[in-house]
Structure 1
Amino acid sequence: MRAYGLFYGALFGSLAIETAGQFNNPPSVLIWCGKAYNANNASFNPGGWLSPPEKSDVPLLDLRVYPRFQVYTASEDSATLVVDVEVSYRTGMPLCDYGGNNSVFYDTRSPGPPQLHLTVSDAADSSVLISNAAVPLGSIGEELSISLGDLPAQSLPRDLEVTASLDGCTKTFKISTQILRVPDRTDGGTVTKLDRKNGGLLVQDYKTAGSPLQPLLPYSYYVDWGGWLMNSTSQMNVFKSYGFNIIHIVPPGGPEPFNWTQFDAFMDRADELQLWVMYDMRNTYLNLSSLEEQVNHLKSRKSLLTWYTADEPDGNSDPLNGTTLAYQKLRELDPYRPVSLVLNCYNFHFPEYTAGADIIMEDVYPIATNLTFSDQWNTTCNTTYGDCGCDDCFAPPGSIEDVRKRYEAFDDYESWLGWKEGPPKPIWGVPQAFGGSEYWKRPPTATEEAAMAMLRINNGAKGIVAWNWPTTMELANVTGMLARSLTQPAVTETLLGSQPIKLETNLADSKIDARLWRAKGKMLLSIVAVTTAGSDGEVVVQLPKKIDKVDSVVWGAGDSWNVHGKELRKSVLSGYEVDVFFVS
């Protein structure tokens, strides 16, 4: 995904974002993720590291209130606000004054948690949208309905004020949030809804008038435009036949995005096939004039799913405000679709770069590479030096644990940033589907590929877009089969209808990852072996409730698990084994 030695300098056009190139490196020192990686250069502290807030001596109220969807339209007369009410020692406001009679804010002998009482008002005119709604302390994902009748449909978000009080506490808590209600589309384009509670996308079957919104679990690839697709739209039929439901076109290099005649032919065929398009502006997103031209050219297309601005801006050390300025321009031009970008680094200016996105992607590539020493540059790799192709990845050979650790890290960062950074942002995965050059000695095997993809799904990924296509026939076949399996309606509805619950096992987390989803009366399990070694013996997975049987197998050998009340048992787990199945 990267082009070594190609770094942003002054860009084109009157609305270009001004930059002198990378911003934290000594003169002439090449960097990636802020770190020197050439053997001729010394290590230095790259900065940009996000650390947890200092631990509080008293419990804090971590209150977050946000619209369930990133956009509502004029034809919608109601909306849902999601409320998360957690007690934290890192993020939030002190629960009480903690002095005198307020030293304890509720009776620990009470039968349930205290109630938080919420009032939500329109900041513009102080009209009350929700009055004194009760939400138990510790609740996650509580939903409150509001009427949109008095909120005008406009291009700018509407500011809302949230005031809260807690039983047994004399102080008042105040935060703000925003809701976006826009006019209905009249240009023929579609609306992509981002579910901020569970992280999934919802789209409409635009070929069927009046059809309801349906969840979409993207499974696809970054696709080479110039070498594979540009001269023949018939390749799109081949691509979709594998089972992929979106396509991410990698633009040619340079300041010009595409030959519009050729790209319009591609978009015509995408509209016909209902193959959703993730539109990539990696080479031009810093040029706001070019961005505006591209968006205006494409926004009325029916198959356009999301915008994609920056490709590894943290690796390239793009201007820290670049993604935000592009995001603001996109919200102005097309507020009906979410904006995405991909990060390559473990922890380098995460808040600044992700401020310009609704969807955060990661591209951890751990297969067939030396994670501690770079043969490419003849240097070691650590938190302040070197580039091994997988930033701050330290799992031993034969393990993909760094994939899970990246999700855990991103979840931590979003938690530390708190409500002031807005609603939670879903993460999508970019599994490695290439190799044989640069850092990676070979492509992944089919077994490794499936494990990397499902480990991402287990840890909350709401979309998979592998790098890159064309790939090997082995990987094309396994990813196509996995795409068809995961995009079955029952599977998609379950994966996107809830968040994964981590299940305890008799093995270390470094060996196995087991998750459960519960939605619409269904229970779906996914169990992934994280290493080539698998298990040394029997595997036991603990369940939150007793089950009777394995219902249906989505992937792998789910029917080889034995049901024992609140446990699932299997004699042995093979290396990188993936089993996905429904239970009841």
Structure 2
Amino acid sequence: MHGFGCGGLALLALLPLTACAQDLWCGKVYTAGTPEIIPGGRLEPPKPSTTPLLDLQVTPRHSIYVGSEEKAEFIVDATLSYIHGTPYLLAVPNGTYGGNASDILFFTIETEGRVLVSDTIVVNKTNKLLEFDLAQLTPRMSAYQIDLSATSRLDESKYTVSTELFFLPDKTVGSVVKVDNLYGSLLYRNEATRGSFKPVFPYGFYADYSGYLNVSNANVEAYASKGFNAINPVADFTDGNMTLTIDRMDELNLLFQYDMRNSFQNLTSVAEQVPLVKDHPSLLTWYTADEPDGWVYNLNSTKLTYDLLVSLDKYHPTALVLNCQNYYYAEYSSGADIIMEDAYPVGINATYSRKWNTPVNETYGDAGCDNCVGSLLDVPYRIDDLYSYQKWIGGAAARKPIWAVPQAFSGESYWERDPTPAEVWVMDMLAFNHGAKGRFAWIYPPSDMLVGAASQLAQVVTVSPVMDFLTGANPVFVQDDKHGLDVSYWSLGAQVLVGIVNPRNTTASPVQINLPDAFTGLQVESEPWGEVGWSLDGSSLIADNSLAGLATSYVLLN
């Protein structure tokens, strides 16, 4: 992926030859002398309503539950919105309530005539968790339709919304992986977890299979020894028998994403591959389309494969990566539970293609990073864009997790140099600050220097305490207008993790980050990552010294 040979991708030998017949990337022509085509496919924000809407949603906390589990939860949202929902007559145009009292909805959640939950929610409240007993249901492969019926306390207006709940028979062989829809993180269970679901923050690389992993299992072992807990071998069983490699990953509990980029559009082939993979203990996720928006694959291609995978294996989620900044996002993203982005900004010329000798803009050309400016901030900008698109689509899409695919390579006349170690850390931590719930860089093995840099951070973000925050909370962004720092925090019980990134090459001094007043009284417990030194004055986090360009830091408050 990830790089673009004839319009696309590094490691050209990994690509199907038919991919090179095109001269479009993200719907744009990129070869000199080719007439410009204005690409369509832009997802635009929905036209806002002139009056507030009630966007009532009910979502299972986990994407699946299995027969050995006793309890489950629903997430209920009663958001006031101007783009999704049904008319809410008790709100005035600025989104506040008429009268003096806040409205409350009385609601029940039921399935097939059986009430699972009865409760109330204040209008404009989100993420209300409601536990129920799974003993009321029988595990089965088909989904339960879940219906929420609500009544307004103030005017007795009625509202209804539906979703699906998967309560599956227990799986006794291999792994089971689910998405936590509250935080976007993954929970997995296999022999290594002793039957319990454990959170995981996947941190690793796409890895060359034929030229590296398949050479010797010693390479698999060396990879795992660096602290990487997940891997995406760039191959599938149509390329050869991967059993020995996967068996070793099982033994190491090295979680893998199974990559069908070269075969996912052949549904017969996909159906033949699934039984070879689905019962391995180290299977984390399926991976189907690699930059389908860049290659301009059929708009329904990802959804067709996704529907087939769900019919064959409901115990693992599906991921894909999108390369374009905004090209038929709704259509391509409908074919996955996890959306990955791969903005590669290091060493590019964002306005002129050295490879094709053409200008690059929003409607023409290919610079190696679609609609980028050539800054490390292109990574969080892209993640923010994708989360915005998902909110525009609404419903279940609004909760889909996003993973980052940062750059760990150079070449192909697009990227003049590799990222530095500091730039690797900046891109990773910017992604995490903006809500990325996993990370697979392109591609392994990179230079020894980049392996070492990624290994250092892997050994922090994949284990407690940092992993607990990244998987068990959502980041809250903190605005820093003075120095242009990128700051987010995660709250977990009485503790707070603060992520600080200086994304620029200029030193910031003095540095004072104003956190919420509620943090007054906390103390700096440790700095799990970085060498800055911090103290807390009231609710202000203050650096002991200046913050160097491209500095990164995690600070744990207690």
Q: Which TM-score tier does this pair reach, normalised by the shorter chain?
A: over 0.9
Is 1:435–1:442's contact at 8 Å kept on the other side of the alignment?
Answer: yes
Kept in 2, the 8 Å contact 1:74–1:184? The answer is yes
Identity %: 37
> In structure 2, what is the Cα distance between the partners aligned to 1:365 and 1:134?
46
* Displacement of 1:521: 2.5
Q: Which residue of 1 aligns with 2:12?
A: none
Matched residues in 2 for 1:339 and 1:270: separation?
19
Q: CA deviation at 1:41?
A: 1.4
Q: Report what 1:48 is aligned to.
A: 41
1:553 — aligned with what?
Answer: 527
User: Take 1:98 and 1:517, find their aligned partners in 2: how far apart are those partners?
Assistant: 32
Task: Measure, in 2, the Cα distance between the counterparts of 1:52 and 1:142.
Answer: 26
CA distance in 1, matches of 2:187, 2:193: 15
Q: List aligned pairs for 1:93-104, cutoff 5 A.
A: 93-96=86-89
Tell me the distance in 1 between the aligned counterparts of 2:86 and 2:392: 13
Quick check: 1:128 aligned with 2:115? yes
Q: Distance in 2 between matches of 1:319 and 1:380?
A: 27
Residue 431 in 1 paired to residue 406 in 2?
yes
- Distance in 1 (CA, whole Å) between partners of 2:162 and 2:223 is 45
Q: Cα distance, 1:51 vs. partner?
A: 0.5
CA 1:205–1:293 in structure 2 vs 1: closer, same or farther (change >3 Å)? Answer: closer
Q: C-alpha deviations, 1:166-193, integer Å up to 9, x for none?
A: 332443222211111111114x121012
- The alpha-carbon distance between structure 1 residues 530 and 167, as it changes in their structure 2 partners (threshold 3 A), is farther
Quote the residue 1:191 is aligned against. Answer: 176
Q: What is the TM-score when the length of structure 2 is the normalising length?
A: 0.93
Quick one: which amino acid aligns to residue 413 of structure 2?
E
1:485 — aligned with what?
460
Question: Which of 225, 240, 248 is 1:259 aligned to?
Answer: 240
Residue in 2 that maps onto 1:202: 187
Counterpart CA distance in 2 for 1:539 and 1:53 is 39
Aligned 8 A contact 1:105 1:168 in 2: no
CA distance in 2, matches of 1:385, 1:177: 41
Query: What is aligned with 1:353?
Result: 332
Aligned CA distance change for structure 1 residues 38 and 208 (closer, same or farther; 3 Å): closer
1:209-263 CA-to-partner distances (Å, cap 9, x unmatched) read: 44x22211111000000111112111111101110001110117xxx62322xx1
Query: Is the contact between residue 7 and residue 24 of structure 2 (CA under 8 Å) also seen in structure 1?
Result: no
Q: What CA RMSD, in Å, does the superposition of the two structures yield over aligned residues? A: 2.3
1:494 aligns with 2:481: no
Alpha-carbon distance, 1:507 to partner: 2.2
Q: CA deviation at 1:98?
A: 7.9
When the two structures are superposed, what TM-score results if normalisation uses the length of structure 1?
A: 0.89
One-letter identity of the residue aligned with 2:458: A
Aligned amino acid, residue 427 of structure 2: M
- 1:376 equivalenced with 2:355 (yes/no): yes
Contact 2:90 2:97 in 1 (8 A): no
Q: CA deviation at 1:265?
A: 0.5
What amino acid is the match of 1:276?
L
**One-letter amino acid of the counterpart of residue 564, structure 1:** D
Q: 2:191 is paired with a residue of what secondary structure?
A: coil
Please state if 1:531 is matched with 2:504.
yes
Q: CA, structure 1 residues 130+556, in 2 after alignment: closer, same or farther (shift >3 Å)?
A: same
Write the letter of the residue equivalent to 1:141.
Answer: N
Q: Establish whether residue 222 from structure 1 lines up as the match of residue 196 from structure 2.
A: no
CA distance in 2, matches of 1:400, 1:577: 13
Change (3 A) 1:98 1:106: closer
The 3 A distance-change label for structure 1 pair 175 and 422 is farther
Which blocks of at least 5 consecutive residues in structure 1 are unaligned? 8-19, 23-27
Whole-Å Cα distance in 2 between the matches of residues 114 and 335 of structure 1? 39
Note if contact 2:52-2:95 (Cα within 8 Å) is conserved in structure 1: no
The secondary structure found in structure 2 opposite 1:177 is strand
Displacement after TM superposition at 1:56 (Å): 1.3
Q: Distance in 1 between matches of 2:144 and 2:398?
A: 15
Mapping 1:385-534, distance limit 5 Å = 385-394=364-373, 399-419=375-395, 421-422=396-397, 424-507=399-482, 511-534=484-507
CA distance in 2, matches of 1:175, 1:208: 36
Match of 1:11 in 2: none
Secondary structure of 1:538's counterpart equals: coil
Alignment of 1:59-458 (within 5 A): 59-96=52-89, 106-107=97-98, 109-110=100-101, 113-122=102-111, 125-131=112-118, 133-186=119-172, 188-204=173-189, 206-207=191-192, 209-210=194-195, 212-251=196-235, 257-260=238-241, 263-394=242-373, 399-419=375-395, 421-422=396-397, 424-458=399-433
The one-letter code matched in structure 1 to 2:381 is K
In structure 2, the residue matched to 1:579 is: 553
* Equivalent residue number for residue 12 of structure 1: none
How many residue pairs match? The answer is 545
Question: Could you list the runs of 5+ residues in structure 2 that have no partner in the other structure?
Answer: 9-17
Cα distance in 2 for residues equivalent to 1:557 and 1:158: 51
